[in-house]
């Protein structure tokens, strides 16, 4: 990433492109860290999604004297520990809650992977790529882009906090974009 502090500064001003850039740049590192820690792909992914939602919700509290990656890891470790404690108390991962006033941070200035594919290829090809994604990602893409639901409506329908919905949608779009690029190569 060119200048992390500059991107973080933009994110603190609710710049959606900056959120997207931070997410894309740090996703693999954070996910792989949690995968090593948990040994479970789904759990690692869920912790990573919650971490980004919480980090973006609290980006204004980030102190730029520290590394952003370290800050993310600290949030991630705390979430992991909280979930373990809650698991021991038989509380479901879905019940972890946090503030839902996070601004939408999807990059709406650029066409989505769906728009690009629909323009350049037929709908059946897009549907096949969507079908290859995990169930949650298929559902969230369908609700957002095919059913036209808002984040709040999706949150209610999936019984998940709005922050989690936003991060999962971003992750689903990124995975779909990767599949589109793989086919283009």
The three state secondary structure string of 147-180 is: CCCCHHHHHHHHCCCHHHHHHHHHHHHHHHHHHH
pTM for this prediction: 0.61
Please compute the mean of the pLDDT values over residues 30-34 and round it to a whole number: 92
Domain ranges in the chain are 4-95, 113-184
Q: Is CATH 3.30.1200.10 the classification given to domain 4-95?
A: no
CATH number (1.10.10.10, 3.40.50.720, 3.30.530.20, 3.30.390.10) of 113-184 reads 1.10.10.10
> pLDDT tens, 46-72?
889 889 888 888 888 888 888 899 999
Same fold, 4-95 and 113-184: no
Classify the phi-psi angles of 103: left when phi > 0, otherwise alpha if psi is within -120 to 50, otherwise beta.
Answer: beta
What is the rounded CA–CA span in Å between residue 77 and residue 155? 25
């Amino acid at each position: 990433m060119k200048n992390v502090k500059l991107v973080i500064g933009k994110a603190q001003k609710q710049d959606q492109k900056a959120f997207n850039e931070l997410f894309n740049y740090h996703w693999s590192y954070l996910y792989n860290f949690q995968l090593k820690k948990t040994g479970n792909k789904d759990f690692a992914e869920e912790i990573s999604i919650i971490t980004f939602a919480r980090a973006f919700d609290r980006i204004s509290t980030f102190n730029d004297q520290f590394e952003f990656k370290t800050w993310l890891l600290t949030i991630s470790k705390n979430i992991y520990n909280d979930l373990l404690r809650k698991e021991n108390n038989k509380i479901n991962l879905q019940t972890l809650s946090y503030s839902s006033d996070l601004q939408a941070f999807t990059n709406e200035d650029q066409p989505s992977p769906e728009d690009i594919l629909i323009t350049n290829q037929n709908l059946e090809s897009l549907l096949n790529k969507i079908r290859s994604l995990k169930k949650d990602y298929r559902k969230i893409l369908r609700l957002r882009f095919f059913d036209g639901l808002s984040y709040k409506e999706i949150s209610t329908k999936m019984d998940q906090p709005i922050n989690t919905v936003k991060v999962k949608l971003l992750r689903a779009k990124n995975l779909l974009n990767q599949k589109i690029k793989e086919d283009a190569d």
